[in-house]
Structure 1
Amino acid sequence: MKKILLLIIFPFYIHAVNAQQNSGDYAKHVDSVDSIINTLYEVISGEKGEERDWALFQYLFKPEAKLIPSGKAQNGDINVRFLSPQQYIETSGKWLIANGFFENEIHRSVDTYGNIAQVFSTYASFKSKSDKTPFMRGINSIQLLNDGNRWWIINVYWCSETPENPIPKQYLNE
């Protein structure tokens, strides 16, 4: 009976130990607004065929967090989708790896009050690190929470640049 109980409990123990080790390894990625934003960009970026660290990606977010792309549909309506971090991985992860994707921050403005921060982060997207011209630009609106121990991403809400909706000069370093 003890052997059966150990066989049942052991996998949970290993999972808990691994989660605790990852938590320690990942702590440096969430100790400041700068570190969590930089890690967000780094973890989704990589060359074609390069795996991403999805465990680190998920570590950045509160479990209830949302990733919210917005944009204009072909009929002209403005739409949004609400994705959990896991749904983002499931819907975009394979595409990022299959095509290569680098998202570089080109401007940031941060407002903080108490335990919350709002970051407007202008990005440029490339298929390879060696690309000179982005295939897309836009702005990520990132809401963060500091719980007294670390920063958490609450939402990443974004809008891509279009010819009729260029990025305002105050959100560019040009």
Structure 2
Amino acid sequence: MALFFTLNAQETKDYSTKVKTLDSTIETLYAVISGEKGQERDWKLFKYLFRPDAKLIPMGKNEEGEYMARYMKPDDYIKSSGKWLVENGFFEKEIYRKTDGFGSIAHVFSTYESYKSEADEKPFMRGINSIQLQFDGKRWWVVNIFWTHETEINPIPKAYLPKA
């Protein structure tokens, strides 16, 4: 008679404090994709932030120079960007936020800077995340993130930058 033991039991983490407030949800969103080169990301936490039908929507120019949106689920983002984030190092830091809300919904315009390492002094990219969130009475959920990066012809407006 053979005895079998499960040695690799599924560890369940309690992420509830990460989504208790709007601020903690946004802070977690930035923190979970950020890390030094070679540092794995907590993709379970990343997926925990999102409603089941949530979308991540980057906006950028295609090869013909037309602005296009790409629609991804959290798993699609992990597949398309996860390896790159770990291989190159990536930190996204919020530098300004404008929040509007009504009832159980909120919209956050969050200006960010991107770095390859936390030690970098100058960002390699900046942009704005347009984040829609929902509060269900217990926690905040990310419904959608729609973003674009800054370019020479599309600079970030002063209204969405830190006040000097």
**TM superposition score category, shorter chain reference:** over 0.9
Output the aligned Cα RMSD: 1.5
CA distance in 1, matches of 2:54, 2:108: 15
Residue in 2 aligned with 1:68? 57
CA distance in 2, matches of 1:107, 1:142: 13
1:122 to 111, 114, 120: 111
CA distance in 2, matches of 1:27, 1:68: 25
4+ long deviations beyond 3 Å: none
**1:26 pairs with 2:15:** yes
Residue in 2 aligned with 1:106? 95
What is the one-letter code of the residue matched to 2:158? K
Amino-acid identity (%): 58
Shift of 1:117: 0.3
What is the one-letter code of the residue matched to 1:27? S
1:145 to 99, 116, 134: 134
Structure number with higher helix proportion: 1
What is the one-letter code of the residue matched to 1:147? D
TM-score (norm 2): 0.92
What is the one-letter code of the residue matched to 2:70? R
Structure 2 gaps, min length 5:
none
What is the one-letter code of the residue matched to 1:83? M
CA distance in 1, matches of 2:98, 2:18: 19
CA distance in 2, matches of 1:135, 1:83: 24
CA distance in 2, matches of 1:31, 1:112: 16
Residue in 2 aligned with 1:156? 145
Residue in 2 aligned with 1:3? none
Counterpart secondary structure, 2:51: strand
TM-score (norm 1): 0.87
1:48 to 16, 37, 49: 37
Shift of 1:76: 1.7
